[in-house]
Amino acid sequence: MKFPGILTKNILMETTGEISLPAQVKLLPGHCGLPKLVIQISHSSAEIYLHGAHITDFQKTGEPPLLFMSAASRYETNQPIRGGVPVIFPWFGPRAGQPAHGFARQTSWELESASVEKNGEVKVSLRLSETSMPADWRAAQLRFSVTVGDSLTMELSVTNRSPDKSLSFEDCLHTYFAIGDIADVSITGLQGAPYIDKVDGASTKQERGAAITFNSEVDRVFPNASGSVEIHDRKFHRTIVVEKSGSASTVVWNPWIAKSKAMADFGDEEFKQMICVESGNVGENQITLPPGKTARMKVILSSRRVE
Ligand code: BG6
């Protein structure tokens, strides 16, 4: 199968000019014909759209999906996908005259390599081509690698190719987790941390409870929060662990009732089935890269059953 724009370089087992992927990886048309990688190994499966390098599914065998996807998501070339893991770059949040959360999540990425690791995990690497980026961001070289195993490992790397200018940006892996019921979920790992409360005029507050629970809209940006976070889901009998490096900020978001209704690509009731715990470098943690340097953010998502 041939898809335009896909690099053949580094892909295992090329045959007769066509791209041959390892048997565990298939490149198929997804929603609205957008190409997606479908990865299947013995203990898990995953799907990644080239549009936005967007992971739309990761599921361990015998468990509910780890990632939430909205049934109302658009799959259009000039729109972000709603759910999964949007890759946010080079700014976080709205920006006048520009797409909210940056252009990376609504630009088509290229598959660079796909391989099976010695331990049976599958690793794919995507890159954002220079020509598909706005002219003033072409100094940035973006790669996103995804390793599918018993856990899901994501690494976003940004290299500043400029010979003489530094590069400042925000980035974020805006992960939507699937949960049994928002009323039965709590988040730990952020106790005592200061945060910017985006639903209260961006005022600065401090997380005081033993865990974050949800009974209204939550939109909190935690600067200088580089530790692991756990999502305790009593209905699914599951604890999800978010471990990370190279990420100084954590964002926790649930849109609740009014905002859900206001979003065209999100179901009115879907806020009950999702929670975003986002790993990034935003606001005061934005990154400034000297010429020639690379910033790497790695996020590992794992889960365990809890009785
Ligand atoms: C979160 C922001 O990261 O993303 C929220 O903190 C925002 O304020 C949410 O509403 C969703 O953004 P978007 O652009 O995907 O609708």
pLDDT tens, residue by residue, 239-285: 999 999 999 999 999 999 999 999 999 999 999 999 999 999 999 99
* Nearest Cα residue to atom 9 of ligand 1: 253
Closest CA to 166 of 307, 31, 3, 291: 291
Query: From the CA of 295, how far away is ligand 1's center (Å)?
Result: 23
Q: Which numbered atom of ligand 1 lies nearest the CA of 255? A: 10
Percent of the chain with pLDDT over 90: 93
Q: Which of 91, 200, 253, 279 gets mutated to test ligand 1 (max ligand atoms within 8 A of its CB)?
A: 253
* Nearest Cα residue to atom 8 of ligand 1: 219
pLDDT tens, residue by residue, 181-237: 999 999 999 999 999 999 999 999 999 999 999 999 999 999 999 999 999 999 999
pLDDT band at 15 (very low <50, low <70, confident <90, very high): very low
